[in-house]
Amino acid sequence: MSVAPAFDAAAMSLSVDDAALLGRRAVLGPAYRLFYEKPFAPVRGLDVWLYDAAGRAYLDAYNNVPSVGHCHPRIVAALQRQATALNTHTRYLHESVVEYAERLVARFPAALDTVMFTCSGSEANDLALRIVHEATGRRGLIVTENAYHGVTAALADLSPSVQSRAYRGAAPGGAPALPLAPHVRTVRAPDVQRAGLRGAASGPDVAARFALDVRMAIADLQRGGVEPAALIVDTVFASDGIHTDPVGSLAAGAAVIREHGGLFVADEVQGGFGRTGGVWWAFERDGIVPDIVTLGKPMGAGHPVAGLVTRAELLADFGARRRYFNTFGGNTVSAAVGLAVLDVIEEEGLVERAGVVGAHLQERLAALALRHAEIAEVRGRGLYIGVALIDPDGGPGTERAIGVMNRLRERGILIGLCGLDSNVLKIRPPLTFGVDHADLLVGALDAALGEA
């Protein structure tokens, strides 16, 4: 359905004075950032559509949390049903959390047989760090140069992207970048375009370069007296600008860190639950089995559900020495919601759909690139697609990308930006996006590029 179902704002008596709301927002302090030159204030979500208070529909090509579609009736019903019956924690025996854990591990390679639940992707990554440290007895960590892994103090050290040019520029006074912590090294993402490599034949080159970077990072840690504990990567390299192809880099990086006694942590908070099309997990494209996989965002379709999946043996030391209790992680309502999300993904065939619709969208975007010289590359998999824009001199088209994103918002289409230079249009809609929605997006993007 490429035309949004009508939404009667008046009937819901939703009238918001956005300007006044913007002023009142000061109560939240200066650390938050809003999207778009003209902030967007949705009041209702329905499948791939968001509505403002005036009832105007916006096509959501950005949000991966409601990846089964905004306010999916089956998820809402499951939440309501369980919230009405019981909401308790993992200190009581309850069928739902065990069933959910069983259903989840069944979606992973057999070696990854144990689940722990948290409330956010950050908590999942933070817990992964504790397990890594316990299992290896080491501290050294390697991430990509524009990575984002979460909000805790430990993860702020592993998230250089929050200090990237675009973010710093938006901060009051544009604070200077902070140096990396002594136990952290960064490597370049496997970025074909930035490396000046091209095409399918570049696969081994890109993977080899990534492996060499990891090797050098390990050597540099060791020079500083720190042994490598883990390589942690977002398996779609989203904040680095979306790099899923050519395949081989995840496998190459994992091999190097393991050769040096460290672990490979796959952060699937972005790439998980069918996002890349045809497979449930983005790491599957490289045919590898990570040591720990962290999960979040789409896992609860908006309800805060997250966790990690690993080998039982890796948890042995951690479990023997530490007690783990997360008040809300794995509560009965979250488990019911998580189970409903799995049901919807499976029954609506969303993993396969993401592959089919994503391929169509990439094809249409590639055709658009033939007519717009500012499109340097269209990349990604499934419904995680990046469109890299350049300036006439070949440099990153940061201002261009910001302009296009804002013009699309004016046209009723929501996308975001990513990449080291914030010049990559980030297209990451709910997995219920259809071919007609994709066509609508491409038409609007064509017009928005033309207006530049």
Ligand X SMILES: Cc1ncc(COP(=O)(O)O)c(C=O)c1O
CB burial class (10 A; 0-12, 13-18, 19+) of residue 210?
Answer: buried
User: Contacts with ligand X in 5-34 (CB under 6 A)?
Assistant: none
Binding piece for ligand X, criterion CB under 6 A, among 145-153, 194-202, 333-341, 367-375: 145-153
Q: Does 90 bind ligand X (CB under 6 A)?
A: no
Q: Does 303 bind ligand X (CB under 6 A)?
A: no
Half-sphere CA count of 413, side-chain side, radius 13 A = 27
Q: Does 58 bind ligand X (CB under 6 A)?
A: no
Binding piece for ligand X, criterion CB under 6 A, among 115-123, 191-199, 214-222, 398-406: 115-123
Shortest spacing between CB 202 and ligand X, in angstroms: 25
Q: Does 45 bind ligand X (CB under 6 A)?
A: no
Sign of CA dihedral 170, 172, 174, 178: negative
Both tokens of residue 379? 């990349």
Shortest spacing between CB 427 and ligand X, in angstroms: 16
Bridge partner residues of 114 (DSSP) = 310
When the beta carbons of 248 and 300 are compared against ligand X, the nearer one is: 300
CB burial of 425-434 (b: ≥16 within 10 Å; e: otherwise) equals bbbbbbbbbb
Q: Which of 269, 389, 418, 449 binds ligand X (CB under 6 A)?
A: 269
Long-range contacts of 12-21 (CB under 8 A, 24+ apart): 12/43, 12/44, 14/43, 14/44, 14/53, 15/53, 16/41, 16/43, 16/53, 18/53
Tell me the C-alpha distance between 35 and 400, whole Å.
16
Shortest spacing between CB 304 and ligand X, in angstroms: 7
Shortest spacing between CB 221 and ligand X, in angstroms: 22
Q: Which of 63, 82, 96, 120 binds ligand X (CB under 6 A)?
A: 120
Q: Which of 234, 286, 377, 421 binds ligand X (CB under 6 A)?
A: 234
Bridge partner residues of 42 (DSSP) = 52
Binding piece for ligand X, criterion CB under 6 A, among 90-98, 147-155, 325-333, 337-345: 147-155
Tell me the C-alpha distance between 52 and 9, whole Å.
8
CB 379 within 8 A of CB 243: yes
Tell me the C-alpha distance between 229 and 232, whole Å.
10
When the beta carbons of 150 and 160 are compared against ligand X, the nearer one is: 150
Q: Does 146 bind ligand X (CB under 6 A)?
A: no
User: Which residue intervals of 44-94 are DSSP H helices?
Assistant: 73-85
Q: How far is CA 108 from CA 254, 264, 351, in A?
A: 17, 16, 14
Shortest spacing between CB 182 and ligand X, in angstroms: 23
Shortest spacing between CB 436 and ligand X, in angstroms: 28
Q: Does 419 bind ligand X (CB under 6 A)?
A: no
Q: Which of 149, 243, 311, 428 binds ligand X (CB under 6 A)?
A: 149
Element (H, E) at 50: strand 49-52
Q: Does 157 bind ligand X (CB under 6 A)?
A: no
Q: Does 237 bind ligand X (CB under 6 A)?
A: no
Q: How far is CA 413 from CA 58, 138, 148, 355, 440, in A?
A: 5, 46, 25, 21, 9
# chain residues binding ligand X, by CB under 6 A: 15
Q: Does 148 bind ligand X (CB under 6 A)?
A: yes
Shortest spacing between CB 313 and ligand X, in angstroms: 25
Binding piece for ligand X, criterion CB under 6 A, among 84-92, 142-150, 311-319, 375-383: 142-150
CB 231 within 8 A of CB 265: yes
When the beta carbons of 269 and 342 are compared against ligand X, the nearer one is: 269
Q: Does 151 bind ligand X (CB under 6 A)?
A: yes
Q: Residue with the closest Cβ to ligand X? A: 121
Binding piece for ligand X, criterion CB under 6 A, among 66-74, 117-125, 171-179, 273-281: 117-125
Binding piece for ligand X, criterion CB under 6 A, among 25-33, 70-78, 146-154, 375-383: 146-154
When the beta carbons of 52 and 157 are compared against ligand X, the nearer one is: 157
Q: What are phi and psi for residue 129, nearest 5 degrees?
A: -60, -45
User: Contacts with ligand X in 270-299 (CB under 6 A)?
Assistant: 270, 296
User: How is 258-312 classified by DSSP, letter by letter?
Assistant: HHTT-EEEEE-TTTTTTTTSSSSSGGGGGT---SEEEE-GGGGBTB--EEEEE-H
Tell me the C-alpha distance between 60 and 36, whole Å.
14
Q: What are phi and psi for residue 387, nearest 5 degrees?
A: -120, 105
Residues near ligand X (CB under 6 A) are: 120-122, 125, 148-151, 234, 238, 267, 269-270, 296, 306
